[in-house]
């Protein structure tokens, strides 16, 4: 065993000792990156075996009370979301000699890259159940960061990374989203806890159906229709950035069967598709904001923004029934 593996083994054993899940049998990094701080661990306590994911975090990133409560509420509602396990002292994280750590059960299943109708409808049903399960919560998640002022700041800082024509499109998209978010009728749309990143990479399936939804660490308070728009941009689009009407209808029908969408939500869906696409594009641009060369090649996120900016996606509310 290498020195790195021995160190990780020691840290894992130290962290897992705080939990009532037995002794460490084996482990592997959850991700291949060299700076990864998450591990899949296999433990045994008597005849019982546990498979968990343990993550070491810097103290500012420790699970907050609202986040822990959100996961607890999802688990209580029977949603395929991994709740944070409590230590023997009832704490949501364990203290080690290096970094604090938290543990969640490891979810089964695999990511799908070419989703079927059944899988898309299942994701829509999950989103609806998630919104209903967290609607009456006594806590508030932080507000979604993509505010009007945030967009204006991103516009100023990121324009230099793009060619002029691309930057011009970015400015126009940001203007449209700011106009959307300032509308009185938009601000009356149903809101609550939203996942914000219901992408294919964050959903697990097996032959029976949806087995897990991952990465709720960026859950926020926002418009419920935003989750569906963000999901559609990843699950229902084509290479040109356009939403496939049939796939998008599957997603919305799956959702509508559990939590009926209002006429206003369906009407503003197209605007939120632009909003979600712009947020995703901004997040990608921000990752290269320190690069020495300007951002160049158009990609799927830019294509989605460009398409939504030039086309209104309309769905007849009667088709959702």
Torsion of CA 269, 274, 276, 282, to 10 degrees: -170
Q: Are residues 95 and 136 in the same domain?
A: no
Query: Where does a domain end: 48, 83, 105?
Result: 105
Q: Is 68 part of any domain? A: yes
Q: Is 209 part of any domain? A: yes
Q: Is 111 part of any domain? A: no
Q: Which domain holds residue 145?
A: 117-320
Helix 164-181 × helix 148-158 angle, to 10°: 170
* Residue 28 backbone phi and psi in degrees, to 5: -150, 150
Query: Where does a domain end: 105, 130, 146?
Result: 105
User: Domain count of the chain?
Assistant: 2
Q: Given pLDDT bands bounded at 50, 70 and 90, which one contains residue 96?
A: confident
Q: Are residues 160 and 196 in the same domain?
A: yes
* Residue among 314, 271, 305 nearest 155 (CA): 305
Query: Where does a domain end: 55, 84, 105?
Result: 105
How does pLDDT run across 255-274, given as a tens digit for each residue? Answer: 999 999 999 999 999 999 99
Q: Are residues 207 and 228 in the same domain?
A: yes
Q: Are residues 80 and 156 in the same domain?
A: no
How does pLDDT run across 14-44, given as a tens digit for each residue? Answer: 999 999 999 999 999 987 655 558 899 999 9
Q: Are residues 148 and 261 in the same domain?
A: yes
Mean pLDDT, rounded, of the chain:
88
Q: Are residues 54 and 184 in the same domain?
A: no
- What integer pLDDT is reported at residue 35 of this predicted model? 53
- Here the CATH number for the domain that contains residue 87 is 3.30.200.20
209: left (phi over 0), alpha (psi -120 to 50) or beta: left
Angle (CA) 183 285 112, round 5°: 90
Which strand (E) or helix (H) includes residue 45? Answer: strand 38-45
């Amino acid at each position: 065993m290498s020195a790195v593996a021995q160190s990780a083994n020691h840290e894992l054993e130290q962290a897992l000792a705080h939990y009532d899940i037995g002794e460490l049998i084996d482990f592997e990094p959850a991700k291949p990156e060299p700076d990864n701080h998450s591990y899949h661990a296999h433990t045994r306590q008597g005849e019982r075996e546990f498979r968990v994911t343990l993550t070491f975090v810097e103290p500012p990133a420790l699970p907050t009370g609202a986040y822990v409560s959100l996961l607890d509420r999802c688990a209580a509602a029977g949603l395929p979301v991994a709740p944070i396990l409590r230590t023997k002292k009832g704490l949501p994280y364990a203290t080690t000699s290096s970094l604090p750590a938290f543990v969640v059960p490891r979810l089964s299943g695999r990511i799908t890259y070419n989703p079927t109708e059944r899988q898309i409808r299942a994701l829509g049903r999950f989103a609806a159940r998630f919104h209903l399960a967290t609607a009456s919560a006594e806590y508030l998640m932080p507000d979604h960061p993509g505010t009007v002022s945030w967009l204006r700041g991103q516009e100023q800082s990121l324009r230099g990374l793009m060619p002029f024509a691309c930057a011009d499109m970015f400015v126009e998209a940001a203007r449209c989203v700011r106009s959307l978010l300032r509308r009185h009728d938009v601000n009356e749309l149903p809101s609550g806890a939203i996942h914000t990143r219901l992408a294919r990479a964050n959903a697990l399936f097996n032959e029976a159906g949806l087995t897990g939804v991952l990465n709720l660490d960026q859950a926020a308070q926002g418009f419920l229709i935003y989750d569906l728009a963000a999901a559609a941009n990843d699950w229902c689009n084509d290479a040109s950035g356009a939403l496939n009407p049939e796939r998008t209808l599957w997603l919305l029908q799956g959702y509508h069967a559990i939590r009926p969408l209002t006429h206003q939500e369906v009407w503003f869906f197209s605007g939120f598709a632009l909003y979600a696409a712009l947020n995703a594009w901004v997040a990608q641009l921000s990752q290269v904001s320190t690069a020495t060369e300007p951002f160049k090649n158009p990609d799927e996120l830019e294509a989605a923004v460009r398409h939504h900016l030039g086309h209104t996606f309309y769905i007849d509310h009667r088709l959702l029934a």
